[in-house]
Structure 1
Amino acid sequence: MNRQERRRLGVKKKDPMVSIKQSDINAMKEEATEKGCKMAFNLMLAVPAMVIHDKFGQLMKKDGRVEKFVDLCIEEYRCYEEGYVTLQELAKCLRDEAGVEIKGWD
């Protein structure tokens, strides 16, 4: 964009040109992916914890049961993160042992 076009559009400063290495881009992508996965996990943990708290409060009368549920979920997630269990194994176990089919785990 030349000077005349910038004046017409009311742009006061040029956008600076930044050079960045591919390895830096890859590192930023990796960091963003990791952050997004952690956020998604926290959201998917908060939803069932709130359902247990709100809808099944009578079953969860003893203090600390919701916290225990959250701790157990985090423990199970760590097992997945460390490679002890796969999503397919979790889906098969839920289907075979609990009769629960969760779609979209392919």
Structure 2
Amino acid sequence: MIDQKIVFIIKFGVYYQTYHKVKNVLVVTYSQSGQLDDIVKNVIHEMRLDKDVHLDFETLKPEPEFPFPWPDIRFWDAMPESVRKIPAKLKPLQFDPTKKYDLILL
């Protein structure tokens, strides 16, 4: 089953290719297993080929980072915070927040 967010991104990618010349694009990702990285590479492939598009990448990293696959004790240790909707702390972001972006892909 394909996630609705992925369908939107793919549809938006087609829209982008057809109607817009985007200059600055920020791609923000998080992938514990690395599988999302492969999907993102495929989604932005056409943008990478376009010389008029400048891509910046930001990978969200929790502090401390979660191992993959999770050992049982780490999984159960993180569960109470997840249930109570207490977010994990993130390492500082690396992109320039003052830069103007025409498109931000999350």
TM-score tier, shorter chain, comes to: under 0.3
Which protein, 1 or 2, shows the higher relative CO under an 8 Å CA cutoff with sep ≥ 6? 2
The structure richer in strand per residue is 2
TM-score (norm 1): 0.24
The structure richer in helix per residue is 1
TM-score (norm 2): 0.24
